[in-house]
Amino acid sequence: MRPDNYKLEKPREILVIYSLFLKGGSTIKIRIEDKEFEAPGPEEALKLLRERGAFALKIDEKVKGFEALKEISPDMTAEGLTFASKEGKDIYRHSAAHIMAHAVKELFPSARLAIGPAIEEGFYYDFDVEKPFTPEDIVRIEEKMKELVKKNSPFVRKVVSKKEAADLFSKMGENYKVELIEAIPDETVSLYEEDGFVDLCRGPHIPGTGRLKAFKLISIAGAYWRGDERNKMLQRIYGTAFADKEDLKKYLEFLEEVKKRDHRRLGRELDLFSIAEDVGPGLILWHPNGALIRKTIEDFWRDEHLKAGYKLLYTPHMAKLELWRKSGHWDFYRENMYSPMEVEEVEYEIKPMNCPFHIAIYKSSLKSYRDLPLRFAELGTVYRFERSGVLHGLMRVRGFTQDDAHIFVREDQIGEEVQKILDFVVFILSTFGFADYEIYLSTRPEKSVGSGENWERATAALKMALEKNDLDYRIDPGEGVFYGPKIDIKIKDSLGRLWQCSTIQVDFNLPERFDVSYRASDSTEKRPIMIHRALMGSLERFFGILIEHYAGAFPVWLAPVQVEVLSIAERHSEYAKKVADGLRAEGVRAETNLENEKIGYKIRVSTMRKVPYLVIIGDKEASEETLSVRKRSGETMGPMPISEFLGLLKNEISARR
């Protein structure tokens, strides 16, 4: 956007304004990627920063542009930010978003700009345009960005009053920018210009457009302004940017692999699940293959919980609205709940959580200190309102089943119980093939309930359990739930992506709200502490993660079809059916393909279905009553007796491989 009579002032030369700082032999100290350098003056400092790939500064924990060199006093140390740091990546990619917006305005002058932040692995910018962007438009925008990068125009920062900024963007017709300015609490705002293009931005940016070395525009999507469905749908362009072309190439290859593993595509191809518009968005229909995998997961989950001393529950899908008022969900979680329904003049609410039901079961009889810890577990289906714009296959849905548990403990039992849960988490996740984790301890959020003392005790108990287990963790400030702190465990899949699954939450609040108690050894009434816990989180989301982790090639114990028996010719059909029947009788999930097709075609079809083992029946196998076994990888195992193959299968299934 080029205002007719508006131009930001070019920055003054900054190389002479530090002479007062440098008297007496003082130096400027710069730390770049854990190495410290000294420069006798600002000119040398600037040169040093550029030579080592830095494009911004961090001074007193505040991220700033190179113009902030004037704030450095003698012997102060500043950190030079490169692409290697998170802040550096954000600056680099946010600058790429700014350049993309400039390119769009060059090609589509009537486009109006919304926001363009850096995000994980890239950036985006939202535009209000007359017609949706096409793939051909994206190619043109990317080429225009290359032209702007080639010009190497400097980014120039200017701080102006809110009124001046609002007047400027109003004249340009940039109503979204005016709305953003009006929401800023400060009296001034910062603007950035490069080559005549001006944008509202907190900054900083890279010094000039030429520093953007490698970038790619990836996709187009619709996005409501401010994420509100009542607002206009904008066009969002996603892109990514890296410090060098080789890293960009690797990332684009990674995206191709992600695309191949997309659980939505594999869900269709392997006939696992679907979402029907007639049923409603975010509501999953489990097909026979997917339902069979789900049953296997649920059977394993239930068996292991019974072994671990949990008691299994089933609870209703709705309850009186008053229950959710009492629990605090109506006050703290209402935006994720559906509108109440009236039944016989009483308001009911479809459940977003299972916890109040488990408390009701606990309170249905008197409890003694000898009953604790009392472990309740349920595969409970809950319903939460998610806007249609954020729904995403199995990963973000409106109805899902939590592998939920609530454990009632005495305060002196918290540490030991949390340690047991952590061991259980590791066992469950490793069984499904996840060995790498990142652990976070989330502390009290701004919007919460309960006393500070209770929060401190709960947080200390979680921290102690992590340290006793010698587990590395990070503090995630303010990310606890409204009723207590939590441990979040993020699993790393085969592509190195992190997924939030397991959570352990200590809650002093709900037992107080519901007046939960137990009879202590001295016959007094005491309040138990409640631990909320999920190992897999949502079954739907966990299943989506599993699909992508294994690229649909599930291990034998999870595969919906473990063995497919293929006949070479019609005369082999009877023996093929006999083999399949025998395998099914032993609990193996076996199917046959007796179609009058060439065996090569049958093998290809079964391989595409990702069946772990193919049994091929021809004249030799039928006459000798043996099997020719082939793995889905293409490896052949040669002829073997049925008993030998069955033993191999049973060992693999029982070991959950």
Residues designated catalytic: 355, 384, 402, 404, 406, 486, 532
Q: Please, are residues 534 and 500 in contact by the beta-carbon 8 Å criterion?
A: no
Distance of CA 211 to the CA centre of its chain: 30
Within 8 A by CB and 6+ apart from 303, the residues are none
Query: Cα separation of 147 and 199, whole Å?
Result: 19
Residue 42, token pair as written in the block: 């600002």
Q: Give the relative orientation of helices 539-549 and 288-307 as an angle to the nearest 10 degrees.
A: 110
Q: Please, are residues 169 and 198 in contact by the beta-carbon 8 Å criterion?
A: no
Question: Quick one: three-class SS letters along 324-348?
Answer: HHHHCHHHHCHHHCCCCEEECCEEE
**Identity of residue 204:** P
Residue-wise DSSP of 361-396: HHTTS--BGGG-SEEEEEEEEEE----GGG-BTTTB
Q: Quick count: other Cβ atoms within 10 Å of Cβ 35?
A: 9
E runs forming strands in 129-196: 156-161, 188-194
Residue 601, token pair as written in the block: 């075609």
Query: Cα separation of 361 and 374, whole Å?
Result: 11
Residue located via tokens 């293929």: 566
Residue located via tokens 């989330």: 442
Distance of CA 99 to the CA centre of its chain: 27
Query: Cα separation of 135 and 141, whole Å?
Result: 10
Within 8 A by CB and 6+ apart from 427, the residues are 304
Within 8 A by CB and 6+ apart from 112, the residues are 127, 128, 129, 173, 174, 175, 176
Query: Cα separation of 78 and 82, whole Å?
Result: 13
Please, what sign has the CA dihedral across residues 326, 332, 333, 335?
positive
Query: Cα separation of 528 and 37, whole Å?
Result: 57
Query: Cα separation of 32 and 51, whole Å?
Result: 11
Residue whose C-alpha is closest to residue 354's, from 540, 538, 543: 538
Within 8 A by CB and 6+ apart from 565, the residues are 576, 577, 579, 580, 583, 590, 591, 592, 593, 615, 617
